[in-house]
Amino acid sequence: MAARLSASRRRTTLDDEPKKHIPLLLPDIFSHVHEAIAHYGYAAVALGILLEDFGLPTPGETLLIAGAIAASHGDLNIWPLLFFAWLGGVVGDNLGYLIGHSGGHRLMLRYGGRIGITEAKLKQVAGFFARYGSVVIVFARFVVVLRQFNGIVAGTLEMPWWRFVILNASGAALWVGFWGGLAYNLGKRFYLVSEHFAEYRVYFYVGVGIALVGVASYLIWHALRSPKIPPAT
């Protein structure tokens, strides 16, 4: 009997514990993303961006946005989040640069087809470099293929490392600031609207019901008053 009471108390305690907000923020399709953030926080965001930035198919941008939304609700702090996201991007692209500069891109082409690293994608990025020059690096993060392979291509083309570092760090700051700041501010507004809606939703539903009844009444009244057209003889 005592054991049953003890087990019941344990279940009650666990059920009463506050649930994390993160799993409620995104649709189920992103469950792997917000679960990673719920368990590993800033490290999940930084590592996801780092791996994506030298060619691996990880959802770096999605992790950044999900982390910023979580920060907007108080689950993370936005400033460390932005810093670690920026750091992960800079380190990841520099690893890509090292791979390209040391000739490792040939090895990646040979074995990377299964994870999306193909010669066609690298040639596409090289074409952007040839057309627009090194300024591509600043805005590369806003384009999926460029974000993944600009470091490898810059190293392969033997761009001076110091120039790559300056342009890459600047681009990472722009990208993190844009997506992180946008998601954070939208997240705050979303929760503010949600709280007010929960408080006044009864009035909202009543208003919608009245509006629907009014529209239906007008349509019926208009149909009854419309002149009837006699059938053609």
Q: For 37-128, where are the E strands, in sequence order? A: none
What would the pLDDT profile of 22-39 be if each residue is shown by its tens digit? 444 445 446 778 788 888
60-72 vs 78-101: helix crossing angle, rounded to 10: 170
**Measured between alpha carbons, how far is 65 from 26 in angstroms, rounded to an integer?**
10
Provide the 10 A C-beta neighbour count for residue 98: 15
pLDDT recorded at residue 76: 92
- Does pLDDT of 188 surpass 90? no
The span from the first CA to the last CA of the chain, in angstroms, equals 89
Q: Where are the domains of the chain?
A: 17-197
Regarding pTM above 0.85, the answer is no
Instruction: Report CA-CA distances (Å) from 156 to 2, 95, 140.
Output: 70, 12, 16
What would the pLDDT profile of 49-60 be if each residue is shown by its tens digit? 999 987 788 888
What would the pLDDT profile of 66-98 be if each residue is shown by its tens digit? 999 889 888 899 999 999 999 999 999 999 999
* SS3 state of residue 149: helix
